[in-house]
């Protein structure tokens, strides 16, 4: 018999709210079986658990949920692994470039703040006050 998980099991394991898991389901990242009256009980498989784990990993990397779904869906398809890895690398490269651009912007901003601090200290010294 295959191992299954309830929404509470996954929420506890991954320190998420059940609402977050339902959101990932709405985004098409998870597809639990529905049982019970009106299909209200969700039963998650090991595949769903793995997809959730990969989704959270992609989120930590800063990928959007759309990008995460695209990559995770590639791994579910029977296509060539090389194609999947190329797509994954392309997404990672694009994301890395975005992060590097953000980092350069932050560094420029930090340099500007430092310059203003230096100017303010110089002006304070001219008026005879010691900067704090």
CA distance 71 to 61: 13
**pTM assigned to the model:** 0.68
* Residue appearing with tokens 């339902």: 22
Mean pLDDT across the stretch 106-127?
A: 94
Instruction: Write down the pLDDT at residue 72.
Output: 84
DSSP designation for 46: H
DSSP designation for 38: G
85 vs 31, more confident:
31
Residue 80, pLDDT > 80, answer: no
Mean pLDDT across the stretch 97-114?
A: 95
SS3 state at 84: helix
């Amino acid at each position: 018999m295959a191992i299954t998980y309830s929404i509470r099991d996954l929420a506890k394991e991954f320190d998420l709210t059940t609402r977050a898991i339902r959101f990932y389901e709405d985004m098409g990242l998870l597809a639990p079986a529905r049982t019970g009256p009106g299909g209200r009980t969700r039963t998650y498989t090991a595949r769903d658990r793995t997809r959730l784990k990969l989704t959270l990993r992609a989120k930590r990397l800063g990928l959007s949920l759309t990008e995460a779904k695209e990559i995770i869906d590639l791994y579910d398809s029977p296509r060539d692994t090389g194609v999947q890895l190329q797509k994954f690398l392309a997404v990672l490269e694009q994301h890395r470039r975005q992060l590097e651009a953000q980092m350069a912007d932050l560094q420029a901003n930090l340099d500007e703040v430092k310059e203003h601090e230096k100017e303010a200290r110089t002006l304070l010294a001219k008026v005879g006050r010691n900067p704090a």
